[in-house]
Chains A and B, each alone.
Chain A
Amino acid sequence: MSAPSTENLSRNAPFAWIGRFRRWEASGVLVALLVLFIALSFATPAFLSQYNLSVVARQASFVGLIALGQTLVLLIGGIDLSVGAAAALSAIFGSLLLTQTGIHPYAVLPITAAFGFGLGCINGFFVAVLRLNPFIVTLASWEIFAGATLVITKGYPIRPLGEQFRVFGQGTIAGIPVPVVIFIAAGAILTYLLARTRFGRNIYAVGGNRDAAELVGIRAWRVEFIVFGLAGMFAALAGILYASRMDSGQPSVGEGWLMGAITAAIIGGTSLKGGQGTIVGTIFGALLMAVLANGIVLMNVSGYWERVIIGIVVLVAILVDLMRRR
């Protein structure tokens, strides 16, 4: 990481600051986010309205929560393709819990999160304990989760979920939508976890070099198992919050979230090879994707071009990241 030029730079305080910023994994995505934000503010008056900003932030939160879990999985050198389907299945589980059992609406959130953790642990068992390829395992569990959702619901949504439950998706705390608060809080906790705890350091160690990590006494399988569980938990949180937002447990909801979550993590500086990446970068990545999608609608960009533009932005982000590393 530390190039020889670092010492030269550190003598001159402002330059050192710039140098540090340049080496920071999340710098590229932050600059891109700011540029896009400023450009859109000038280009369209609707962008900066309070309504629009809270809509964008909330939209970023759903994919963002999934991306947080995905970042952890990418950090250990894995990938989880089942997160979108896990989100949908968990949302259906939570909705059924709410409508069928008469449980208190506030209890649904933690129970659904635990359910999601359990789904993730299924992946964790195959990947960490049986040492199977995560791509293949989660490809299979994606199908199973998505299929189970259809078996349970026959494609029909479960609604209404009730006045009290809606607060999670539709309410605000100090003017900020609740899903955004949960997203930021989860991001803060994970950042602390990764930087300050042994579990966090173990994640980077396992992702950087699994064999070396095991040699120094880290039980790699346990780290992997828990990380996959956490990915399932964050997926479940996103799913149940979205259900609350829409007042409906929605069988087809997570379909588009997988690629969005992976993209957010990657443009946020997380490496697909493991061991490298930050939570802050992923949060910016999720925001960038949401702002971009919002801008495309506000600027009346044709739907035919939309995916081309998103692809180009991802490529540019990777190129910027490449330049930063060299």
Chain B
Amino acid sequence: MYSTKRTIFAAAALAFSLNTGTSLAFDQGDLIKQLDEPLTVVFIPKVIHPWYEVVAAGAEQVAKELGTEGIEVNVIWDSPPQADVADHNRRIETNIGRKPDGLAVSCLDPATNVQLLGEAVAADVNVITFDTFCSEDFDFVGHKGDAQDGADLAKFLAEKIGETGKVGILAGSLTATNHAARVKGFKEAIAQYPNIEIVFEQPDDDNLEKAVSLTENALQANPDLKGIFGANASNPIGAARAIQNAGKAGDVVIVGMDDLPETLQFIEDGVIAGVKAQRQWEIGYWAVKYLVAKNQNHTIPHVHATGSQILTKDLLVK
């Protein structure tokens, strides 16, 4: 009896020493999971919009690159035809059900999206938020400095109009928090210039036609308008069309967001003075890369700020 016990003890001790032996040679690379099955990554943007086409191009590029490394990634875009909160949430819910390897969501309505993204995480779906930041609970790839963008554009606009005169704001959609943050940043920065007066601020609902008519009305009411700030991608274009039709191109300084093709054309033609462009190609690229990395058991940065820059005619010529 005693001897048996001793043998077992000895065997256990031997096993233990062997075990420590291997753990000394612990290879961190073993923690990385090999991927032998194709991965599915689903993107849910806020709405069908040309802006996301550039994100998609970045996502496609990284999928191609990973393909050459032997990792097959299917990127699926599930885009709401209209920016409708209920429809957007329905898509998130449905996609949790099919358990993709990665789910990238641009928050349309942070409050309700957070609830569903929490449910996705609870169901073991790898979640990343992109484009619009909604909560510290989830990893994020994109541009977070909305208020800063507004402030930067305010300074840029103030310089262009010689720090004096009347300016107007196309405020975007009242329910979009990023639009609201840009407007807030813009107004706070403009407040530093005592000779600049904000004469109108109207929501255009991210609707180009509405931005055109609002700008036309603003010109009627204020023939001496010096500048217009647009809080999203569509309203600088709307403002530019209205200003060009009124024959006032160059007299009214237009600043706004993003680098859609028509915006770039207007910048080249000198109708739009400058826009803050987000680097959304990068957003798509890194979102896919990080979601694949999550599947491999890598740790990824909690927030990857992709930044933004002011695009002007001078920059485009280069």
Residue ID in chain A nearest B89 by CB atoms: A246
**Contact A255/B84 with A154-B174, A248-B111 known, Cβ cut-off 8 Å:** yes
Encoded as 1 (CB less than 8 Å from any B CB) or 0, chain A from 97 to 128 comes to 00000000000000000000000000000000
Encoded as 1 (CB less than 8 Å from any B CB) or 0, chain A from 141 to 156 comes to 0000000001000110
* Chain B nearest Cβ from A263, distance in angstroms: 14
Q: Does B149 contact A (CB under 8 A)?
A: no
Chain B residues, CB < 8 A from A55: 93-94, 96-97
| One of B72-80, B158-166, B281-289 at the interface | B72-80
Distance of A302 Cα from B91 Cα, bound (Å): 13
Chain A residues, CB < 8 A from B34: none
Distance of A247 Cα from B119 Cα, bound (Å): 13
Q: Which parts of B146-201 form the interface with A (CB within 8 Å)?
A: 174-176, 180
Encoded as 1 (CB less than 8 Å from any B CB) or 0, chain A from 248 to 269 comes to 1011111111000000000000
**Contact A159/B97 with A246-B89, A303-B81, A307-B81 known, Cβ cut-off 8 Å:** no
Distance of A154 Cα from B173 Cα, bound (Å): 11
How many inter-chain residue pairs (CB < 8 Å) link A and B?
A: 89
Contact with A300, one of B76, B82, B99, B112 (Cβ below 8 angstroms): B76
Q: Does A293 contact B (CB under 8 A)?
A: yes
| One of A46-54, A72-80, A183-191, A209-217 at the interface | A46-54
A sample of 23 cross-chain residue pairs with beta-carbon separation below 8 angstroms, ordered by A number, consists of A46-B99, A51-B97, A52-B94, A55-B93, A55-B96, A59-B90, A155-B180, A157-B112, A246-B89, A246-B112, A246-B116, A248-B112, A248-B115, A252-B84, A252-B175, A256-B82, A297-B78, A300-B76, A303-B77, A303-B78, A303-B79, A303-B80, A304-B48
B residues apposed to A, CB below 8 Å: 48, 76-82, 84-87, 89-91, 93-99, 109-112, 115-116, 123, 174-176, 180
17 other contacts beyond A154-B174, A303-B77, with CB at 8 A cut-off?
A46-B97, A49-B97, A51-B96, A51-B123, A55-B94, A155-B174, A155-B180, A157-B109, A242-B86, A248-B115, A251-B175, A252-B84, A252-B175, A254-B86, A256-B85, A297-B78, A298-B97
